[in-house]
């Protein structure tokens, strides 16, 4: 890590540059073009509690109730002051429940008026909880919705995503620079803010952001993960708490501070090899995905992913845009793929991290990948392949083994408090043992959280 100077419009600024040597860039076909298109507004929107991991939801509306933008739909049972609000004005059309009456979603039939509730912004923390924006904060350890009773040592914001087919936040930021800076300044009243910026980004709104510490990261995926940035700047020790917030959610906070109203409009990248013309669209959190993908993508034989292709959830056109999703990816399912002689063929169009195919000779070729795992789960081999793509000062392979074994003491010693499932996405991609690393890490964090409750 070193300090360096950079110049923007004849002004000199200083920032830390952290160069990460481990990682893997996966060049997938179907990147979104830097243009924004319109999308039709559906009649129904939904807020899904599963998007806010760690919350025990309590419904505070009934079917048929009229709501405005910003009116609470459900609250956290453990912290009722933390509210989760409607993104549109209209009428509550359904409170959807599943097995054992688990709350799946609360749907609102929009009236098209977007009448919004006005909030007081004198007390930043109270305004965030009342307006529903505090639910977007996540905390380390455990990677769950933040506890408002905690005092974090810092709030981390990553202004870029290094995963394949991810949203270009620098493009999404255009026109929202004032709201972004206002959001950063508001967060600084709660705790010191550390902003992670890519070495490829040039926006003055990022590099010269005020009321925060700017750290520039240079490296391959997952360099944009906030967990990687925490580990390389100020690692979390047992007993410490760090809050994290998505870059576009900082814009949400800024809009609230500027207007007193919530606006959940975000710029979403529709990308993937099965998308006809990948580009960006303005959408509301909770908007139906069929307004985005139908007519714009080949849906038959494809997988719709709500979120990033590496970390998002398998979905469908009838689902709703996730609360944290900044992209929707559509890739082939691969159910009917027919590969003659399998891996024996000397392929030029198939990606391999181990140079099993001649495709590594093709330079920066774009690849079309499907959703197949290409192999079954097998014994875990300590080959060090995780460490090659895991840019954190943590022994990833040993941590996974400790989680599987249920050894809590060893998990703590190996740094489980610092990680989140998304940090293992690239390691999961290269894993020759075909283990579901993100699921394993999630289970380990949940068990540890119960033990420490």
pLDDT tens per residue, range 280-328: 999 999 999 999 999 999 999 999 999 999 999 999 999 999 999 999 9
Q: Which domains does the chain have, with CATH numbers?
A: 2-30+135-247 (no CATH), 44-121 (2.40.50), 385-451 (no CATH)
The pTM (predicted TM-score) of the whole model is 0.95
At a CB cut-off of 8 Å and minimum separation 6, what does 220 contact? Answer: 20, 22, 23, 24, 25, 162, 389
- pLDDT higher than 80, residue 135: yes
The whole-number pLDDT of residue 348 equals 73
- Would you say 196 and 217 are in contact if contact means Cβ atoms under 8 Å apart? yes
Q: Structure tokens of 209?
A: 């952001």
Contacts of 230 (CB under 8 A, 6+ apart): 140, 156, 236, 242, 244, 418
- For 142-154, the pLDDT digits (tens) are 999 999 999 999 9
In this prediction, residue 10 carries a pLDDT of 40
As a whole number, mean pLDDT of residues 122-136 equals: 98
Confidence tier at 218 by pLDDT (50, 70, 90): very high
Confidence at residue 8, expressed as pLDDT on a 0 to 100 scale? 46
What mean pLDDT is reported for the chain?
A: 93
- What pLDDT is recorded for position 344? 65
One DSSP character per residue, 8-34 reads: ETTEEEEEEEEE--------BS-PPPS
d(CA 411, CA 408): 5
Give the HSE-up count for residue 379: Cα atoms under 13 Å, Cβ half-sphere.
3
Q: End-to-end CA distance of the chain, in Å?
A: 36
Which residue would you say has higher pLDDT here, 137 or 1? 137
Please compute the mean of the pLDDT values over residues 174-197 and round it to a whole number.
Answer: 98
Q: How confident is the model at residue 87 (pLDDT cuts 50, 70, 90)?
A: very high
pLDDT of residue 415: 94
Q: Measured between alpha carbons, how far is 411 from 401 in angstroms, rounded to an integer?
A: 9
């Amino acid at each position: 890590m070193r300090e360096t100077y950079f110049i923007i419009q004849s002004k000199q600024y200083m920032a830390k540059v952290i160069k990460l040597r481990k990682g893997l860039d996966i060049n997938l076909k179907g990147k979104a073009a830097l243009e924004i298109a319109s999308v039709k507004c559906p009649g129904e929107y939904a807020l899904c509690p599963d998007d806010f991991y760690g919350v025990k939801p309590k419904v505070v509306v009934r079917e048929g109730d009229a709501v405005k933008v910003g009116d609470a739909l459900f609250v956290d049972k453990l912290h009722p002051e933390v509210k989760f609000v409607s993104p549109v004005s209209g009428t509550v059309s359904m409170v959807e429940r599943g097995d054992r009456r688990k709350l799946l979603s609360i749907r609102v039939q929009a009236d098209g008026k977007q009448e919004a509730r006005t909030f007081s912004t004198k007390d930043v923390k109270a305004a965030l909880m009342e307006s529903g924006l505090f639910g977007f904060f996540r905390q380390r350890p455990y990677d769950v919705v933040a506890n408002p009773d905690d005092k974090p040592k810092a709030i981390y914001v990553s202004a870029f995503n290094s995963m394949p087919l991810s949203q270009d936040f620098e493009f999404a930021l255009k026109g929202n620079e004032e709201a972004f800076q206002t959001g950063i300044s508001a967060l600084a009243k709660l705790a010191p803010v550390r902003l992670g910026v890519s070495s490829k980004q040039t926006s003055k709104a990022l590099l010269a952001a005020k009321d925060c510490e700017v750290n520039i990261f240079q490296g391959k995926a997952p360099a944009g993960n906030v967990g990687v940035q925490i580990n390389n700047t100020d690692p979390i020790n047992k007993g410490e708490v760090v809050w994290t917030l998505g870059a576009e959610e900082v814009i949400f906070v800024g809009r609230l501070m500027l207007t007193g109203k919530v606006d959940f409009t975000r710029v979403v990248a529709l990308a993937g090899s099965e998308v006809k013309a990948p580009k960006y669209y303005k959408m509301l959190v909770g908007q139906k995905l069929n307004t985005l993908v139908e007519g714009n993508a080949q849906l038959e034989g494809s997988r719709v992913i709500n979120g990033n292709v590496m970390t998002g959830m398998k979905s469908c056109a009838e689902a709703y845009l996730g609360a944290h999703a900044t992209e929707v990816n559509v890739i082939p399912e691969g159910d009917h793929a027919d590969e003659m002689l399998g891996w024996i063929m000397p392929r030029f169009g198939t990606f391999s991290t181990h140079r099993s195919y001649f495709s590594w000779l093709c330079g920066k070729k774009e690849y079309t990948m499907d959703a197949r795992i290409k192999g079954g789960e097998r014994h875990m081999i300590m080959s060090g392949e995780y460490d090659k793509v895991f840019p954190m000062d943590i022994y990833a392979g040993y941590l996974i083994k400790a989680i599987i074994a249920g050894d809590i003491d060893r998990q703590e010693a190996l740094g489980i408090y610092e990680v989140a499932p998304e940090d293992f996405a690239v390691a999961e991609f290269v894993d020759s043992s075909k283990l579901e690393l993100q699921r394993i890490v999630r289970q380990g964090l949940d068990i540890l959280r119960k033990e420490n409750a």
